[in-house]
Structure 1
């Protein structure tokens, strides 16, 4: 295995792109369908890459995928300068858990993205 790039299913592609850009991600690639409506996008920040795809674009291709936002998973993202990053974004997002040091020595905080997915950011300080 070489890498993991989750493909996250979303309702509103433009809203999702705006949210992730607001926390420092760059738009790498998009796929339009029927003109200019985006159905897929890839975004990255450093070595972290997410792909986003609309539920609608799946059609009947993968019927077992839930067609609801959010999920029973959490994306754990390691970064440097976590306190600076927290200060940069905490007023732009829904903070679920503020900065705290864990029993295993990491400093972490968790936010909710615009699709109800949980992103936890961590730094080994």
Structure 2
């Protein structure tokens, strides 16, 4: 669940830029779908202080088409780090979504 005060902007980013479908949207809540991925966006819990993204890590998505995704998004998104092969055997890149959450996409390196 991504907390955001910008539900409509988040739905627009995920659908128009990343190619997700909006499965449902109501006031303060939405479901976004692509392939095997389901992301929910919601207004922050009113009992928890919220000044923006609170997640201290990244959301890692395994894929079988990392180069295709990189080529489709590299000029449309804010890049956290560009595509590269890492010593731990993954080819990956990371972008920021419209809320500044980090989304990493990777697949095993084929030799």
TM-score, scaled relative to structure 2? 0.89
Tell me how far apart the structure 2 counterparts of residues 66 and 101 of structure 1 sit (CA, whole Å): 38
Q: Pick from 78, 101, 110: which aligns with 2:94?
A: 110
Q: Pick from 16, 20, 36: which aligns with 2:14?
A: 20
Provide Cα deviations, 1:77-111, integer angstroms capped at 9, x if missing partner: 01111111111011111001000111121100011
Instruction: Name structure 2 gaps, 5 residues minimum.
Output: none
- Which residue in 2 is equivalent to 1:89? 73
Alignment of 1:1-125 (within 5 A): 7-21=1-15, 22-31=17-26, 38-55=27-44, 58-59=45-46, 63=47, 65-70=48-53, 71-125=55-109
Which of structures 1 and 2 has the bigger CA Rg?
Answer: 1
Deviation at 1:73, TM superposition (A): 2.0
Deviation at 1:54, TM superposition (A): 1.4
TM-score, scaled relative to structure 1? 0.80
Cα distance change of structure 1 residues 82 and 9 upon mapping to structure 2, 3 Å threshold:
same
Q: Which runs of 4+ in 1 moved over 3 A?
A: none
- May I ask how many residue pairs the two structures share in their alignment? 107
Deviation at 1:68, TM superposition (A): 2.1
Cα distance change of structure 1 residues 88 and 73 upon mapping to structure 2, 3 Å threshold:
same
Deviation at 1:30, TM superposition (A): 1.5
